[in-house]
Amino acid sequence: MRPEFSKLIIGILLIGVDLGAYYYVENRRREKRVKALLAENSRQRLESQRMQEALSPKEDELFLHFKAERRIVSVDVRKIVYVESMSEYVKIHLTYADEPVVVLFSLKKLIGQLPADRFMRIHRSYIIALNHIAEASRTSVKLDNGIVLTVGELYRPAFSEYLESALHSL
């Protein structure tokens, strides 16, 4: 075999080895990028799920549990129209019940457990569900069940602010 052919064959073999090494390295880099993208995608999906779970109310958060007359009463927060204070007891008026649920609980403690974006204290004796307001003025609220409640002087500024923001969102 001639020396020129051997040099040519060796050159071709070296180019093949170089190309093989290059493709091997590029393939490894691509695999790493794909793994990183999959990991990022998975992380984002998990984060999105967590955000969704945090934003959507849990089943437990939709119910409050009270002791009433030697039994446990569960109240669906979504069904509360208004709450009325009676000394150390509260009357919880519900959409589906003719009679309110009476439990030994304070209004102050109850307002802390209700979702702030859906309930507001309007008087020292009343908490209302904002989605049950039929008519409202600075001094009174008419609920969709026909009950008219007074807005206490201490609670008027916050209630007026709520009414202003509700009007602006329309």
Judge if 115 and 142 occupy the same domain.
yes
Q: Give the range of the structural domain holding residue 134, as residue numbers without chain letter.
A: 60-169
Judge if 74 and 30 occupy the same domain.
no
Choose the final residue of a domain: 56, 74, 91.
56
| Confidence (pLDDT) at 122 | 96
Choose the final residue of a domain: 56, 80, 99.
56
| Confidence (pLDDT) at 118 | 93
**Res 169 pLDDT > 90:** no
Choose the final residue of a domain: 56, 74, 95.
56
Judge if 72 and 91 occupy the same domain.
yes
Judge if 36 and 119 occupy the same domain.
no
| Confidence (pLDDT) at 1 | 64
**How many separate domains does the chain show?**
2
pLDDT digits (tens, 9 = 90+) for 69-102: 788 888 999 999 999 999 889 999 999 888 999 9
Judge if 39 and 88 occupy the same domain.
no
pLDDT digits (tens, 9 = 90+) for 25-60: 888 888 888 888 778 877 777 776 776 665 545 545
Judge if 124 and 70 occupy the same domain.
yes
Judge if 109 and 161 occupy the same domain.
yes
CATH label of the domain that carries residue 117: 2.40.50.1020
Judge if 36 and 95 occupy the same domain.
no
* Torsion angle defined by CA atoms of residues 130, 136, 141 and 146, in that order, rounded to the nearest 10 degrees: -90
CB neighbourhood size of 73 (10 A): 15
| Confidence (pLDDT) at 141 | 96
pLDDT digits (tens, 9 = 90+) for 135-153: 999 899 999 999 999 999 9
Judge if 31 and 98 occupy the same domain.
no
